Chain A
Amino acid sequence: MSKLLNWVDARFPLSEFVKQDLTGYPTPRNLSYWWNFGFLAGFVLVLQVVSGLFLAMHYKPDASLAFESIEHIMREVNYGWLIRYIHSTGASAFFAVIFIHMARTLYYGSYRAPRELMWWTGQGLLLLLMATAFFGYLLPWGQMSYWGAQVITNLFRATPFFGDEIVIWLRGGFSIGDATLTRFFVLHYFFPFLIIGLVLIHLVALHTVKSSNPSGINLAAKDNIPFHPYFTAKDLYGLGVFLIVFCFFVFFSPEFFIEADNNIPANPLKTPAHIVPEWYFLPFYAILRSIPDLLGGVVAMGLSVVIFAAMPFLDRSHIPGGARYRPVYRILFYIFVLDFAVLTYVGAVPPSGSLVVIGQVATFIYFALFALLPFISKAEEKWLCKRGLPAEVEELLKSKSSPDKFNCPL
């Protein structure tokens, strides 16, 4: 065995890789359970790829067969119901995990130098995930699949000059049809390859800059511990908890994430009374609807998703550390989470009088938080310097071996 390993090692840095990047990978000892979600995202990705592969063996991307093939999977294929419910619940789990992963990054300031590339590749992954989910949602060919795709592709009508042409080009016809279904299936199968590629880049970047930690300040080398066995054990425990929640939905409430209307076959002649996207698109959908003008709404919605990428520029404070040591930033974070929840709610219900206004206010707050951050973060920096940094931060910074340096006033 060791002979074989030596043979491989002489040709490929296997042992070195395992030691440096898996078992011995230096990890801050103070990571909280919020740091489990990166691993969980990777796990859900694998789960989706594997369950998706098995679904694709039985699914028929043909407008006249798609809906029935899903019922075939649910009723005739051995454990087809399990595979399909894992996949449909997995999509929601993926977004839940990613949203928490992003919230953690925002809270602890993990997007700040030197982790900007992690944040930006993460932003790219969010976009790819959204696209993949959107393509996938058409495949069951139910009413909500059909009309959701109709509404979203229709947004491209807002493109100046070529609006109509682009919509037809995307759909492969004047409306959603067989051509659209086939291409969405192909893209839904293809995009995960891009996701896997970008995840690898995300991980290479991670192993260059290393994990951030709850203090938001890079720790001295002595405060890092090897990934194995400490974080393998911790990740396994987190995975167990995750799986309990996940399996609860898969086995006991699998239709919770499926709109009832999607159990009606797509009917181009009958618009559902109330078209709603999947829950993970609701906040952005609410922003789209809050702006009366189509082009404006589309731009605002797009911006609301990609604006996260600007965080490293918008946050101008030089004080190391995450929200734990930044009281003002912390309040902004909490307002943001609450605002996101309100937008989710507004996106889910039919627009009516006061809710329209609430949606508009929430949209305004959403962007205002980002727009004001440069000024607020600068003011917070001044204020904290005057008041004196928290003792814990001072101590972490003073410890000679911390790579972070900061002196007040600048």
Chain B
Amino acid sequence: MNQKTMTFLLFGSFLFLTANSRASSDVSLAEVDFDHSVENIKSGAQVAMDVCRLCHEFKYIKYRNLLEIGFNKDEVDVLRGDMPLNTSILSTTKPEIASKLFGMMPPDLSLMAKARRGGARYIYTLLTSYSMDAEEHVDNKLFPGIKMPDPFAYAIRTDDVRQKELDQRIENVSVFLQWTSDPKAKERRRTGYYVIAYLIVLTFLFYLLKRKVWRTLK
């Protein structure tokens, strides 16, 4: 075996082992092909404001940020009530009451997608994992014993149409939470394409320069 192959294999195995050790353990999550369009983010936000905000806060998202995902001023005004535009979106239930109800503070959701391996997939899987056993006891397969009551009553869905509708709403919420955790993602990727394209051209020029310079060497 020649040395180049050897080096390649070794560093390859190194990368493989390292990457593998990090990627493990989200195998049990649902495979969803998320549609991260602004419309979906917006409908997800609507669901989040109607349902999740009852218990959860969105600490790092301010009402004015909603304007970035297609809400207009009037819609935001309805949501914020008499809260200033530049305040974090807090839960509609007072923290003391929520913690009394659940024995804990429901966690902030705005960073949730980043705080769990799998991101949006984790949230989607969590919310679709509620089921009812023979004794009509509802539990969550992904997070057994979770203190969050089934927010969409997913466990008692009745028919396929209802399930489809719920799946779509949950998908939208997951996409919204992905956005709240990383609102700059789109801008970042767009910048990234330009940066990488620029670097490829630049590197190619450097390569030509290097060849030209070294050709003068006897």
Chain A residue with Cβ nearest B187: A81
A178 within 8 A of B: no
A13 within 8 A of B: no
Interface residues of A in 322-349 (CB under 8 A from B): 324, 334, 337-338, 340-342, 344-345, 348-349
Chain B residue contacts of A247, Cβ below 8 A: 192, 195-196, 199
Chain B residue contacts of A252, Cβ below 8 A: 189, 192
Complex Cα–Cα for A234 and B209 (A): 9
The 7 listed contacts between A and B (C-beta, < 8 Å) are A230-B217, A237-B209, A247-B196, A251-B191, A261-B115, A264-B115, A337-B14
Chain A residue contacts of B191, Cβ below 8 A: 82, 251
Complex Cα–Cα for A230 and B196 (A): 26
Interface size on A, residues (CB 8 A): 44
B48 within 8 A of A: no
A237 touches B14 (CB 8 A): no
B6 within 8 A of A: yes
8 Å CB contact of A74 from B6, B184, B206, B210:
B184
Chain A residue contacts of B189, Cβ below 8 A: 251-252
B10 touches A337 (CB 8 A): yes
8 Å CB contact of A75 from B24, B183, B195, B213:
B183
Question: Closest approach, in angstroms, between the C-beta of A65 and any C-beta of chain B?
Answer: 13
Give 1 or 0 for each of B147-185: 1 = CB within 8 Å of chain A CB: 000000000000000000000000000000000010110
B10 touches A345 (CB 8 A): no
B14 touches A349 (CB 8 A): no
Chain B residue contacts of A85, Cβ below 8 A: 188
A345 touches B206 (CB 8 A): no
Q: Is the interface of B mostly helix, strand, loop or mixed?
A: helix
A243 touches B213 (CB 8 A): no
A173 within 8 A of B: no
Complex Cα–Cα for A244 and B207 (A): 14
Chain A residue contacts of B60, Cβ below 8 A: 71, 75
B73 within 8 A of A: no
Interface size on B, residues (CB 8 A): 39
Chain A residue contacts of B14, Cβ below 8 A: 337, 340-341, 344
B115 touches A236 (CB 8 A): no
Q: A237-B207, A264-B115 are in contact. Are A230 and B214 (CB under 8 A)?
A: yes
Which B residues fall within an 8 A CB radius of A?
Answer: 3, 6, 10-11, 13-14, 17-18, 20-22, 24, 60, 107, 111, 114-117, 181, 183-184, 188-189, 191-192, 195-196, 199-200, 202-203, 206-207, 209-210, 213-214, 217
A338 touches B13 (CB 8 A): yes
Complex Cα–Cα for A167 and B160 (A): 59
Question: Closest approach, in angstroms, between the C-beta of B2 and any C-beta of chain A?
Answer: 12
Q: A234-B210, A237-B206, A345-B18 are in contact. Are A263 and B192 (CB under 8 A)?
A: no
A248 within 8 A of B: yes
Chain B residue contacts of A264, Cβ below 8 A: 107, 111, 115
B111 touches A263 (CB 8 A): yes
Complex Cα–Cα for A340 and B17 (A): 11
Chain B residue contacts of A338, Cβ below 8 A: 10, 13
A240 touches B202 (CB 8 A): yes
Chain A residue with Cβ nearest B61: A75
A260 within 8 A of B: yes
8 Å CB contact of B210 from A71, A81, A233, A282:
A233
A255 within 8 A of B: yes
Chain A residue with Cβ nearest B16: A341
A390 within 8 A of B: no
B200 touches A244 (CB 8 A): yes
Chain B residue contacts of A296, Cβ below 8 A: none
Chain B residue contacts of A237, Cβ below 8 A: 203, 206-207, 209-210
Interface residues of A in 199-232 (CB under 8 A from B): 225, 229-230
Chain A residue contacts of B6, Cβ below 8 A: 334
Chain B residue contacts of A344, Cβ below 8 A: 14, 17-18, 21
Interface centre among B17, B22, B202 (most CB of A within 10 A): B17
Chain B residue contacts of A250, Cβ below 8 A: 192
B184 touches A260 (CB 8 A): no
Question: Closest approach, in angstroms, between the C-beta of A157 and any C-beta of chain B?
Answer: 27
Chain A residue contacts of B22, Cβ below 8 A: 256, 279, 348
A334 touches B217 (CB 8 A): no
8 Å CB contact of A81 from B116, B188, B196, B207:
B188
A341 touches B203 (CB 8 A): no
Chain A residue contacts of B20, Cβ below 8 A: 345
Chain A residue with Cβ nearest B195: A247
Chain A residue contacts of B184, Cβ below 8 A: 74-75, 81
Question: Closest approach, in angstroms, between the C-beta of B108 and any C-beta of chain A?
Answer: 9
Question: Closest approach, in angstroms, between the C-beta of B24 and any C-beta of chain A?
Answer: 7
B21 touches A348 (CB 8 A): yes
A378 within 8 A of B: no
With A244-B199, A337-B10 given, can you name 9 additional A-B contacts, CB distance below 8 Å? A82-B191, A240-B199, A243-B199, A251-B196, A260-B114, A263-B114, A341-B10, A344-B21, A348-B18
Chain A residue contacts of B18, Cβ below 8 A: 279, 282, 341, 344-345, 348
Chain A residue with Cβ nearest B12: A341
A29 within 8 A of B: yes
Chain B residue contacts of A57, Cβ below 8 A: none
Complex Cα–Cα for A348 and B21 (A): 6
Q: A75-B184, A240-B199 are in contact. Are A233 and B192 (CB under 8 A)?
A: no
B192 touches A251 (CB 8 A): yes
Chain A residue with Cβ nearest B212: A233
A241 within 8 A of B: yes
